[in-house]
Amino acid sequence: MDITKFFNSILNEKKVQDFLKELKSYHKETYEHSLRVGFLSMLLGVKNNFSKENIKLLGYAGLLHDIGKLDISKEILNKKFKLTKAERKKIEEHSEKGFERLKNFKEIKEIVLRHHKYQINNYPKNCKANKKFCKLIQIVAIADMYDALSNDRSYKKAFDKKEVEKILKENFTGEKIYIEQVVGIGKDYEDNSNS
Ligand SMILES: [Fe+2]
Ligand SMILES: [Fe+2]
């Protein structure tokens, strides 16, 4: 399977483009993060021998996981210092806002709603686990955490690879195998871009 081609075909679908165009102009950092999370989620799907249909779902969910950030003020998204409790609460609403924005996409929205459920400080608190998509949710979650830690964000600098792995081990509450896999893919990717 040519995963880059598969990823691009999803990325270029109108329904995805409509959301991502808006995100790109609203908050470029989140847009770029979303592209990486979409691609990384699909790579993890391939690594786990998921069906083509599920890999596709990982692409959609990864690309759109933070679409609810469109409903969060830029002041909060761009804040350089530690967020207050109230600001943290606001930003955490992005999972539910994303769910609402994706209400016509019955499978994608279930994953997006839960993409912060597999971390120590998980949210939204009142949403039930989803057995059917449990693995897919964990994969988007690990791809998201890995990317957020490995890159500069408005609120923090990128961590080095050792540190990323350590933080994932302390904070990711899903299957531990996914940590190993995401770190491995990250390393392969770096080796390729350095050679
Ligand atoms: Fe998020
Ligand atoms: Fe994210």
pLDDT of residue 42: 98
CB 140 within 8 A of CB 115: yes
Residue 81 Cα to ligand 1 middle (Å): 18
State the chain's maximal CA–CA distance in angstroms.
Answer: 47
pLDDT category, 188, cuts 50, 70, 90?
confident
Residue 144 Cα to ligand 1 middle (Å): 7
Q: Helix (H, G, I), strand (E, B), or coil: what is residue 172?
A: strand
The 3-state secondary structure of 24-88 reads HHHCHHHHHHHHHHHHHHHHHHHHCCCCHHHHHHHHHHHHHCCHHHHHCCHHHHCCCCCCCHHHH
Instruction: Tell me the CATH number at 156.
Output: 1.10.3210.10
State the average pLDDT for the chain: 95
Residue 55 Cα to ligand 2 middle (Å): 18
Per the structure, the count of domains in the chain is 1
Q: Which ligand is nearest to the CA of 37?
A: 2
Task: Supply 66's token pair.
Answer: 């933070």
**CA dist list (Å): 142 to 73, 167, 174:** 25, 11, 8
pLDDT tens, 24-82? 999 999 999 999 999 999 999 999 999 999 999 999 999 999 999 999 999 999 998 88
Residue 195 Cα to ligand 1 middle (Å): 32
pLDDT tens, 45-54? 999 999 999 9
Residue 42 Cα to ligand 1 middle (Å): 17
Give DSSP secondary structure letters for 119-157.
Answer: BTT-S-TTPPP-STTHHHHHHHHHHHHHHHHHS-BTTBP
Residue 192 pLDDT greater than 90, yes or no: no
Query: What is the DSSP-derived secondary structure letter of residue 159?
Result: P
Residue 34 Cα to ligand 2 middle (Å): 7
Residue 51 Cα to ligand 2 middle (Å): 24
Residue 116 Cα to ligand 1 middle (Å): 6
Residues lining ion ligand 2 (Cβ < 5 A) are 66, 144
Q: Which ligand is nearest to the CA of 116?
A: 1
Residue-number span of the structural domain to which 177 is assigned: 3-194
In a 10 Å sphere around its CB, with 0-12 CB exposed, 13-18 middle and 19+ buried, how is residue 170 labelled?
exposed
Roughly what angle, to the nearest 10 degrees, separates helices 177-194 and 134-150? 50
Alpha carbon distance 131, 67 (integer Å): 23
Residue 162 Cα to ligand 1 middle (Å): 23
Rounded to 5 degrees, φ, ψ at 31 are -60, -50
**CA dist list (Å): 60 to 105, 142, 193:** 10, 15, 25
CB 65 within 8 A of CB 105: no
Residues lining ion ligand 1 (Cβ < 5 A) are 66
